[in-house]
Amino acid sequence: MTQLPSPSAPSDSARPGRLIVIEGIDGTGKTTLARLLADALRESGRDVVLSREPTDGPHGRRLRESARQGRYPRAEEEAALFLADRRDHVERLILPALRAGRWVVLDRYFYSTMAYQGARGLDPAEIERANRAFAPSPDLLVLLELPVEDALERIRSQRGTAPDHFEGRDYLEQVAKHFAAVEHPRLLRLDARLAPDQLLAEVMRALRD
C-alpha cells in the first residue's frame, strides 16, 4: 500500500482532509487524471470525494446548458454564475468533506475561472480575491500543460465535433497564458503529453513529498 501523509497533518485543524485540484485548458486530460488519482488514493486507504466544476447544481447546470446551446452570457454574468456555483460547492461538499478528514479531488476550480474569464477581459486578480473569500486553497494544485494545437486535435478526435466557444484557438491561447501566470506554493506543472499513468505517478510522488 502506498504511504501518503496523514490527513491530520495540515496546520488548519478545521480541515484535516486534503484538497487536490487538477487544472489546465480543454483537452489536457484533466478528467482522466482526476479519476485515476481518486482511484489510486482509494486504493491507498483514503476516503476520497471526486467532484468537478461547473457542478451539477442549479448554477452549474445553467452554465452547462448555455455551453450546449452556444448561448453565452456576458463575461461578468458568467463569472458571477461560476462564483455562485462554487460557493454552493464549497459549502455543501468541499468544506464538509475536508473537515471530515476526506481527500477531495477536483476537476477544475477557481483557477479555471481566472484563466477563462480572464481571457474574456476580466481581471484574474479580482476573480481570485472574490473566490479566496470563501474557497479553501488547494493542498496541491496540478496544472496540465499542452500546446493549444495538440489540445484542439484531442478535442476533435475524442468528440468527433468542432471545438465550442471556449475552445477556439485564439481564445485558448489567451487562456493558456493566464494559466501560465498562476502561482501557488504547492503547484505541480506537468506535460500533458505524458501517458496518464506517468502523470498519475508524478502526482502521487508530489503527494508523498
Q: What is the pLDDT of residues 87-146, one digit of tens each?
A: 999 999 999 999 999 999 999 999 999 999 999 999 999 999 999 999 999 999 999 999
Residue 28 CB partners (closer than 8 Å, separation 6+): 144, 145, 146, 151, 192
Helix (H) or strand (E) holding 142: strand 140-145
- Residue 174: inside a domain: yes
pLDDT tens digit sequence for 39-84: 999 999 999 999 999 999 999 999 988 877 777 789 999 999 999 9
Question: Considering the domain boundaries, does residue 6 fall inside one?
Answer: no
Whether residue 3 is contained in a domain is answered as no
Query: Is residue 110 assigned to a domain?
Result: yes
* Total domain count, the chain: 1
With respect to residue 2, please indicate whether it lies within any of the assigned structural domains.
no
Assign residue 50 the CATH number of its domain. Answer: 3.40.50.300
The pTM assigned to this predicted structure is: 0.89
Q: Peptide bond before 58: cis, by omega within 30 degrees of 0?
A: no
- What whole-number distance in Å separates Cα of residue 22 and Cα of residue 138? 10
Q: Which three cell numbers, joined as nine digits, stand for 44?
A: 491507498
Q: What is the pLDDT of residue 157?
A: 87
Tens digits of residue pLDDT in 160-176: 665 555 567 899 999 99
What pLDDT is attached to residue 2? 44
